[in-house]
Amino acid sequence: MKEYASILVFAMPLFLVLIIIEKVYGYYKGEDTAPLMDSVSSISSGIINSLKDVLGLSVTLLSYEWMSIHLALFQQEVSIASIIIAFIVIDFYGYWSHRLSHQINFFWNKHAIHHSSEEFNLSCALRQSISSFVNLFTFLLLPAAIVGVPAKVIAITLPIHLFLQFWYHTKHIKKMGVLEKIIVTPSHHRVHHAINPEYMDKNHGQIFIFWDKLFGTFQEELDDVPAVFGITRPAQTWNPFRINFQHLWLLISDAWRAENWKDKLTIWFKPTGWRPENFEERYPVAKITNVFDFSKYGTQYSKLLLFWSVFQLFTTLGLVSYLYLSIANLSIQNIFIYAIFIFISVYSYTELMDTNKYAVIWETIRFTYGIGVVVALGDWFQIDQLIPYGTYLVMAFISLSFFGTLYFVSTDFKSEKLAIA
d(CA 318, CA 293) in angstroms, rounded, equals: 39
The CB-side HSE value for 31 (13 A sphere, CA atoms) comes to: 9
Q: State the Cα angle at 317 between 410 and 340, rounded to 5°.
A: 75
Q: Give 28-35 contacts, CB < 8 A, sequence gap 24+.
A: 29/172, 31/171, 31/172, 33/119, 33/120, 33/121, 33/170, 33/171, 33/172, 34/119, 34/121, 34/122, 34/123, 35/119, 35/299, 35/421
Strand-pairing partners, residue 155, are: none
pLDDT at 415: 62
pLDDT at 418: 47
* pLDDT by 10s per residue, the chain, length 421: 677 888 898 899 999 999 999 999 999 999 999 999 999 999 999 999 999 999 988 788 789 999 999 999 999 999 999 999 999 999 999 999 999 999 999 999 999 999 999 999 999 999 999 988 888 899 999 999 999 999 999 999 999 999 999 999 999 999 999 999 999 999 999 999 999 999 999 999 999 999 999 999 999 999 999 999 999 999 999 999 999 999 999 999 999 999 999 999 999 999 999 999 999 999 999 999 999 999 999 867 899 999 999 999 999 999 999 999 999 999 999 999 999 999 999 999 999 999 999 999 999 999 999 999 999 999 999 999 999 999 999 999 999 999 999 999 998 776 644 444 4
Helix H or strand E segment including 406: helix 390-410
Please report which residue ranges of 104-201 form alpha helices under DSSP H: 105-115, 142-146, 151-163, 186-193
Q: How many CB atoms lie within 10 A of CB 277?
A: 11
d(CA 48, CA 240) in angstroms, rounded, equals: 9
d(CA 328, CA 50) in angstroms, rounded, equals: 17
pLDDT at 4: 83
The CB-side HSE value for 271 (13 A sphere, CA atoms) comes to: 1
Q: Give how far Cα 327 sits from Cα of 343, 390, 407, Å.
A: 17, 17, 35
Cα 404 to the center of its chain, rounded Å = 27
